[in-house]
Structure 1
Amino acid sequence: MTEPRGPVDSSRVPRFAGPATFARLPRVDEVERADVAVVGVPFDSGVSYRPGARFGPSAVREASRLLRPYHPGLDVSPFEAVQVADAGDVAVNPFDIREAVETLEGAASALMAGGTRLVTIGGDHTIALPLLRAAAREHGPVALLHFDAHLDTWDTYFGAEYTHGTPFRRAVEEGVLDTEALSHVGIRGPLYAKKDLDDDHRMGFGVVTSADVMRRGVDEVSAALRERIGGRPLYVSVDIDVLDPAHAPGTGTPEAGGLTSRELLEILRGLAGCDLVGADVVEVAPAYDHAEMTAVAASHVAYDLVSLLAVTEKH
């Protein structure tokens, strides 16, 4: 079997030069096959407040130029352990949300058909629904670990069923989630009513608030999440607004009191050993970013997710 092809050698080509693929990895058409593919979805037609996440994939790729090939926290060189490649962007209809959802579901299924696992960069959180549909087609109903300031289990918004605030209600209704293993992490801020929490609980979600993370610590939270997930196939969805605006100002619906980037990364690293089958990082809106803080944080989250997938593939 051919050895995995890794990033461009930064001792020969400066990090600020050359094509801006994720982590300067080869494109998917430059390798025989990809165990893990990083794919962008430049779509933000489902947002309810600040737009701009359609530019998230390019910003995260640009910020990923400084990523390096060895992950000391997980003791893995992900680009040597498995073949990781950049699959480019899925072009979806920016004017018709339902068509965009269907297009992405088809594209994700096609990419996953040969056993490739995806780390998807959004785009707004609407994209999680078609990605979960595709994951469930391959693995059956999946456990979900959802990092976000918001529940994203609302029913409709202005009568629309498909928005960035509704993907996980739709996913529960469609049976693509294992309702014995659903968790939100980082929830905070005001809600429309207590009914929001009641509805969420009835769907099967457990909630770890950002205050819980502060009080309990990342090791205890990670252990509790691993116990809830068990041996089920796991999908991880990260809305970058799970981070406090001090760490991620460039997002569409910021909320005070969020996680630090260190807390988020350490909780993710605590998932080593779980059967991770796919993941996304969404809601990076570069127009509101400062010094690429949000894009840099998102690129590191994506790198940790790729590394977790590499650990999963190795074992």
Structure 2
Amino acid sequence: MIAILAAPTNLGLRPPQPGSVPGCAKAPEALREAGLHRRLLTQGAEDAGVVLPGRYVADPATDDGLSGGGPFTGRLRNQDAILEHATRFAARLEHLLAAGRAPLVLGGDCSLLLGAGMALARRGSYGLIHVDGHTDFRHPGNNDACASLAGEDLAAAVGRHWPAVADPEGTGASFHAQHVAHLGCRDDDEHLSEARDTLGVVIPASRLRGGHGTSSVVAGATAALEVVGRARSGYWLHVDVDVLDPEHLPAVDSPDPGGLTPQELTELLVRLAPGAVGIQVTVFDPDLDPDGRCARLLADVLVTGLRQLASDC
């Protein structure tokens, strides 16, 4: 049974402009308004409530570093609040998974992968399919401007970050790098080469996109499933909706051309969801969707693409 869990954190993102906060914390309720919950509940899902984040606050140590005003301090923006939220989020996921539920987590930003990784690492050895318009592989070893976990989540998940987020419970990385598949980054992604050298498989969006019907998506899904099949316990599915081309869904903080169509993402989810123990959906920003068009599109994609979530588990 699908359990819809809201996790409306925006703690891992940079401010969209000075003095403001990212709007992706509004995503779960925007999707509810677009009919997602009603449609899924009709199909037998349950509403599992919400894990609320702490307050988003300006952090001079990181914000000054981003603007060139000073060095970074080895801390993330909102780091204490991120870790506190991850702990509560992980506990809720553990409870749902132990009860035989398939969590559909509505974020929120990609920093949610920290808590998901904590929950899964406590239960066994899981793989990860990371569907995202960016590799999210920035880390202190390749960039001296680390501050926002939402752009660094995959690096942290495989142990390449400061210890507070790379090894939050002192037990090692949440995911073995060779059990991780990344799908959907753009060809000019800054960290594409390193991700390819580190992860089980990396397939940019250009190799998933049309021109051959769904054959490219099918091949990408097959390659990803082969990688996560090496993990003993199953796999988690991460979907950042900026994997979609901004022609179709511009309501994200970092839209880049060259992404998937809604039909391609739907087909990808149809093939990946049945074997996943759960999924998190991130980075939709309702502040950039004033007429609700993007929310309705996402609701359609998720209802169709996740119809068989965890059915093979």
Q: TM-score range by the shorter chain?
A: 0.7 to 0.9
Q: Does 1:137 align with 2:122?
A: yes
Identity %: 28
Q: Take 1:148 and 1:272, find their aligned partners in 2: how far apart are those partners?
A: 15
Superposed, which structure 2 residues align to 1:93-242 within 5 Å? 93-95=54-56, 96-138=81-123, 140-156=124-140, 163-173=149-159, 174-188=172-186, 190-192=188-190, 196-214=191-209, 217-230=216-229, 232=231, 233-242=234-243
Deviations 1:151-174 (A, max 9, x none): 112115876566101122221113
Q: Take 2:35 and 2:144, find their aligned partners in 1: how far apart are those partners?
A: 36
Aligned length: 264
Instruction: Call closer, same or farther: CA 1:47–1:158 in 2, change over 3 Å.
Output: farther
1:103 CA drift (Å): 2.4
Conservation of the 8 A alpha-carbon contact between 2:136 and 2:151:
yes
Q: Take 2:303 and 2:270, find their aligned partners in 1: how far apart are those partners?
A: 11
More strand by share: 1
Conservation of the 8 A alpha-carbon contact between 2:201 and 2:227:
no
Q: Take 1:237 and 1:306, find their aligned partners in 2: how far apart are those partners?
A: 13
Conservation of the 8 A alpha-carbon contact between 1:249 and 1:293:
no
Q: Take 2:306 and 2:257, find their aligned partners in 1: how far apart are those partners?
A: 28
Q: Show structure 1 runs of 4+ deviating over 3 A.
A: 65-69, 156-162, 189-192
| Corresponding residue for residue 4 of structure 1 | none
Q: Take 2:182 and 2:208, find their aligned partners in 1: how far apart are those partners?
A: 12
Superposed, which structure 2 residues align to 1:84-95 within 5 Å? 84-95=45-56
1:65 CA drift (Å): 4.8
Instruction: Call closer, same or farther: CA 1:230–1:191 in 2, change over 3 Å.
Output: closer
Structure 2 residue ranges without an equivalent (≥5):
17-21, 57-80, 160-171
Conservation of the 8 A alpha-carbon contact between 2:39 and 2:303:
no
Deviations 1:176-221 (A, max 9, x none): 21433321111116444xxx23432343242211111126622222
Instruction: Call closer, same or farther: CA 1:67–1:249 in 2, change over 3 Å.
Output: farther
Code of the aligned partner of 1:47: L
Deviates more, 1:283-292 or 1:50-59: 283-292
Instruction: Call closer, same or farther: CA 1:272–1:57 in 2, change over 3 Å.
Output: closer
Structure 1 residue ranges without an equivalent (≥5):
1-34, 70-77
Instruction: Call closer, same or farther: CA 1:189–1:47 in 2, change over 3 Å.
Output: farther
Conservation of the 8 A alpha-carbon contact between 1:141 and 1:175:
no
TM-score where L is the length of structure 2 = 0.75
| Corresponding residue for residue 64 of structure 2 | none
Code of the aligned partner of 1:125: C
| Corresponding residue for residue 40 of structure 1 | 6
Instruction: Call closer, same or farther: CA 1:182–1:231 in 2, change over 3 Å.
Output: closer
Instruction: Call closer, same or farther: CA 1:115–1:121 in 2, change over 3 Å.
Output: same
| Corresponding residue for residue 270 of structure 1 | 271
Give the 3-state SS of the residue equivalent to 1:99 in structure 2: helix
Conservation of the 8 A alpha-carbon contact between 1:37 and 1:116:
yes
Give the 3-state SS of the residue equivalent to 1:183 in structure 2: strand
C-alpha root-mean-square deviation of aligned residues, in Å?
Answer: 2.7
| Corresponding residue for residue 32 of structure 1 | none
